[in-house]
Amino acid sequence: MHLMDFIRTDAILADLKADSARAAIDEMVEALVKAKAVSAAERRKVVDAILKRERKGTTGFGNGVAIPHAKHESVKGVVATLARSAAGVEFAALDGQPVHLLFLLVSNPEKPEEHLKAMEHIFRSIKNDNLRRFMSQATTRQELVDLLREADEELG
Amino acid sequence: MTPGGVRTSHGVCVPAREVQVVNRQGIHARPATQFVQTANRFRCRVTVHKGNVKVNGKSIMDMMLLEAGQGTRLRIEADGEDAGPCLDALDQLMRDKFHED
């Protein structure tokens, strides 16, 4: 599995407008809907599932990265998008820092292994300081796509 | 070597425990967070092994790299004065399926 296998290129947002966790999740799910990765009819339910998960514990894991996610039966396998915020999003992160890089994932509840694999890939990519920094500073979708491709090559 | 312990390269015996992931969803983000929070209640160093992969049991970032699905066997090593109670607590958390199933 590669990052580019489940991250929808056309849903990537290089300039996230939202400044709160709720608005960021809304904006990113909307991008997945526009990219036809999440059906418009399920948009509200997917957002609610992610917000519900977030209430159980923040996915702002530190270093300016958040990985909001939820399981939802309307998707096959795993779909995800990536967003970069120049101003930073208030995400109640574990280290108290604003979030500049967000990965949002929706996975099918019957595929826990695929979810774990996708999360492992994301965590491995953000553990790389250079990659994380470059992604946090990218200003266009193409830059982010190039960095994801690079991550896939490096991580194998 | 004491039961359940492993000898490190410098000959020191570190308490360890073999555990299995029993919850259906595996160690995804929330269980990983709970694992790390539990480990952080203790002062000992915690290392988690899955085959050849070895990670810091006090880091969520690290724990997510294990990709530990249901049925995965892990070895938890705890190095420090409170290693025993720490292993007990982590073992119990995993047996309790992270209170989620």
Q: Sign of dihedral through CA atoms A80, A20, A125, B94? A: negative
**Shortest Cα–Cα distance, A127 to chain B (Å):** 7
Q: Is residue B93 less than 8 Å (CB to CB) from chain A?
A: no
ipTM score assigned to the predicted complex: 0.84
Q: Is residue A59 less than 8 Å (CB to CB) from chain B?
A: yes
pLDDT, position B11: 63
Residue A92 Cα distances to A12, A56, A60, A127, angstroms: 23, 12, 7, 20
For A112, which residue in chain B has the nearest alpha carbon? B25
Looking at the 3D structure of chain A, how many domains does it have?
Answer: 1
Tell the CATH superfamily of the B17-99 domain: HPr-like (3.30.1340.10)
* pLDDT exceeds cutoff 80 at B20: yes
| Residue B99 a catalytic site member | no
pLDDT, position B9: 58
The answer for B 18-57 residues in CB contact with A (under 8 A) is: 24-30, 33
Token couple for A85: 């915020």
The answer for A 112-131 residues in CB contact with B (under 8 A) is: 112-113, 115-117, 119-120, 123-124, 126-127
Answer yes or no: do A113 and B69 touch at CB < 8 A: yes
Read off the pLDDT of residues B47-79 as tens digits, 9 standing for 90 and up: 999 999 999 999 999 999 999 999 999 999 999
- CA A5 – CA A96 distance, rounded (Å): 31
* pLDDT exceeds cutoff 90 at B100: no
> Across chain A, which distance is largest between two alpha carbons, in Å?
39
**Shortest Cα–Cα distance, B25 to chain A (Å):** 5
Identify residue A133 by its one-letter amino acid code.
Answer: R
Give residue limits of the domains in chain B: 17-99
pLDDT, position B2: 43
Average pLDDT over residues B10-37: 91
User: Domain range for residue A130?
Assistant: 3-155
- CA B17 – CA B15 distance, rounded (Å): 7
Quick one: what percent of chain B has pLDDT higher than 90?
Answer: 83
pLDDT, position B96: 96
Answer yes or no: do B61 and A116 touch at CB < 8 A: no
CB distance A78 to A107 below 8 Å: yes
- CATH, residue A97: 3.40.930.10
Token couple for A12: 């990537």
pLDDT, position A155: 82
Token couple for A25: 């999740």
Token couple for B78: 């705890």
Distance of CA A35 to the CA centre of its chain: 14
Neighbours of A29 (CB within 10 A): 27
- CA B1 – CA A15 distance, rounded (Å): 57
Nearest residue, CB atoms, A112 vs list B26, B30, B66 = B26
pLDDT band at B1 (very low <50, low <70, confident <90, very high): very low
Tokens 């990670």 — which residue? B55
pLDDT beneath 70: ranges in chain A: none
